[in-house]
């Protein structure tokens, strides 16, 4: 029997992200939100471990009202309980995020595993898992693509690009997984209905013994603005008498721009 805490972040659906042409800023407010893809794979890995060895899966996220949709999906997939730290996280970087999550994990209590994706697809920082392991004084395994438990130890296969590594570590441990670990399941209609009856616990920074203002002050990074790169078309017009001449002039123009070589 294992008790697993899975870190799950809801992000904007990047496939539907639109850019305001006047400011080059992303229109985040109008885009639907979803569970970060690699986090979903961490959740799937935790559910498979529960199915193989028995136990409990608890999801943990920082967010607000919109986060409940992602948590409902997590519960429908097979998580047993959801915890949401609901507060104003404006100005909180990965350092502050890790501090809040560490406090929430300590409040949740006894656990054997903490699982998360190697990175969330909105920031790509890959810092929260390692920072959390340091704050909780736990061993960590990164880039895991296969997990199994044996005799109170975790055995993990790590994907290090040009080499595979197999490691074993005592529990409890923090593990970050890569996308290749699995393909997440699609919840059935019955499980979606059951998810609405599973417990969801909402907390704020104060309930964790933290001041959100003090957490902001510990943050090392300040995001001034986010904008898309400026792209201007050169509006080169190709004039020709026939298709062959047009193709030749187009090729010459492409070569002159350095897009391809002769």
| Same domain membership, residue 76 and residue 44 | yes
- Domain count of the chain? 2
Strands across the sheet containing 113-117? 164-170, 153-159, 140-150, 173-177, 113-117, 2-7, 55-63, 81-86, 200-203
What does the DSSP 8-state code read for residue 160? -
| Same domain membership, residue 255 and residue 199 | no
Q: Which residues contact 189 (CB under 8 A, 6 or more apart)?
A: none
Residue of 41, 37, 35, 26 lying closest to 61 (CA atoms):
35
Q: Which pLDDT does position 149 carry in this prediction? A: 93
Q: Which pLDDT does position 45 carry in this prediction? A: 96
| Same domain membership, residue 173 and residue 126 | yes
Q: What is the pTM for the complete model shown? A: 0.82
Residue whose structure tokens are 């997990």: 147
Q: Which pLDDT does position 135 carry in this prediction? A: 94
CATH of the domain at 174: 3.40.50.620
Per-residue CA distances from 7 to 10, 44, 81, 169, 182 (Å)? 10, 12, 12, 20, 17
Q: Which pLDDT does position 262 carry in this prediction? A: 63
Q: Which pLDDT does position 233 carry in this prediction? A: 76
Distance CA 28, CA 174 (A): 31
Q: Which pLDDT does position 219 carry in this prediction? A: 81
- Low-confidence residues in the chain, pLDDT < 70: 261-262
């Amino acid at each position: 029997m294992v008790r697993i805490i899975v870190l799950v972040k809801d992000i904007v659906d990047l496939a539907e992200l639109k850019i305001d042409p006047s400011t080059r800023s992303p229109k985040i407010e109008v885009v639907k939100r979803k569970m970060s893809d690699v986090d979903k794979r961490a959740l799937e890995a935790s559910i498979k471990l529960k199915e193989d060895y028995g136990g409990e899966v608890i999801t943990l996220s920082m967010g607000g009202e919109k986060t409940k949709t992602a948590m409902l999906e997590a519960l429908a997939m097979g998580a047993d309980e959801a915890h949401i730290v609901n507060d104003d996280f404006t100005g909180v970087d990965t350092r502050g995020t890790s501090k809040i999550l560490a406090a929430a994990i300590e409040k949740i209590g006894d656990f054997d595993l903490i699982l998360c994706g190697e990175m969330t697809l909105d920031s790509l920082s890959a810092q929260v898992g390692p920072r959390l392991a340091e704050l909780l004084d736990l061993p960590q395994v990164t880039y895991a693509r296969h997990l199994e438990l044996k005799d109170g130890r975790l055995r993990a296969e790590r994907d290090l690009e040009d080499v595979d590594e197999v490691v074993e570590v005592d529990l409890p441990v923090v593990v970050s997984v890569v996308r290749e670990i699995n393909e997440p399941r699609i919840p059935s209609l019955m499980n979606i209905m059951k998810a609405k009856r599973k417990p969801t616990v909402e907390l704020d920074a104060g309930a964790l013994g933290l001041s959100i203002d003090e957490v902001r002050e510990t943050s090392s990074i300040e995001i001034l603005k986010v904008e898309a790169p400026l792209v201007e078309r050169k509006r080169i017009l190709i004039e020709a008498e026939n298709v062959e001449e047009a193709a030749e002039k187009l090729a010459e123009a492409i070569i002159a721009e350095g897009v391809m070589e002769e």
